Amino acid sequence: MRGRKPVRPLAEVADAAVTVFTDKGFHSAGISDVSAALGLSHGALYTYVSSKDALLYLALLRAIEPDAVAGLAIPVTAPPAPEIVVLLKSWTASQTESAGDGVAAGPAEQGLGALIDALYGFVERNRRAVQLIQQCAAALPELAQWWFVQQRRATVERIGDYLRDRIEAGELRPVPDIPAAARFIVETIAWFAMHRHTDPDSAMLDDEACRRTVRHLLLAAFLPALCAVAR
């Protein structure tokens, strides 16, 4: 099979892999699932990738740098896991509005609004990649350590630190638990910017309306001046 000329663009294989791994996760998905999605035989997929690990690498690369797969040699091989993590770190670093980067040093309303906008924008722009990483990270130790600890947990902690500083300064309302409040912000944004697209009863909501409503309600929850208006 390795000498056979591929009959599908590598981008199509990558797109199918993104869909399958996002739906099933790394452990549950198989080469045969991706080949079935493409209408190819199980063996034919090895024309494009050397292994299941290589298929995941192809999917991740397609999700974060869509055009990069065109330059890969076939069959694609998987680099070591640490190299994949370095690639993903570089990708997140290149996102100029990644979580927490927009926090301003000015008034609390401005700073919290910038934080919300930055995190919402990052998730909304990159929801395909974020969903894929989250679904597969738990099965791969290096990826899990980076995503869940260094990336997601660190984001929650940065937001918690911001809330704590502004609450102690009297600029935001006190909350029963700051870590829970920080997680509330992150998960609210994640659901509206990403998860609602997979909910058939919510996918029809307007993107801009969701973005503005989430911003308004989160600000109203923490800013004393907006609480009375929100009620």
Query: Per residue in 69-94, pLDDT tens?
Result: 988 999 999 999 999 999 999 999 88
Q: What is the pLDDT of residue 99?
A: 45
Task: Decide if pLDDT at 231 tops 70.
Answer: no
**What's the CATH superfamily of 10-78?**
Homeodomain-like (1.10.10.60)
Q: What is the pLDDT of residue 108?
A: 85
Q: Which of 61-75, 91-105, 106-120 has the lowest mean pLDDT?
A: 91-105
Query: Per residue in 37-58, pLDDT tens?
Result: 999 988 899 999 999 999 999 9
Q: Whole-number mean pLDDT of the chain?
A: 89
Q: Which CATH architecture has domain 90-230?
A: Orthogonal Bundle (1.10)
Q: What is the pLDDT of residue 225?
A: 66
Q: What is the pLDDT of residue 1?
A: 42
Neighbouring-strand partners of residue 76: 49
Domain positions in the chain: 10-78, 90-230
The pTM is what? 0.87
- 15 or 105: which leads in pLDDT: 15
Q: Supply the angle between the helices 52-64 and 81-93 in degrees, to the nearest 10.
A: 10
Q: What is the pLDDT of residue 23?
A: 94
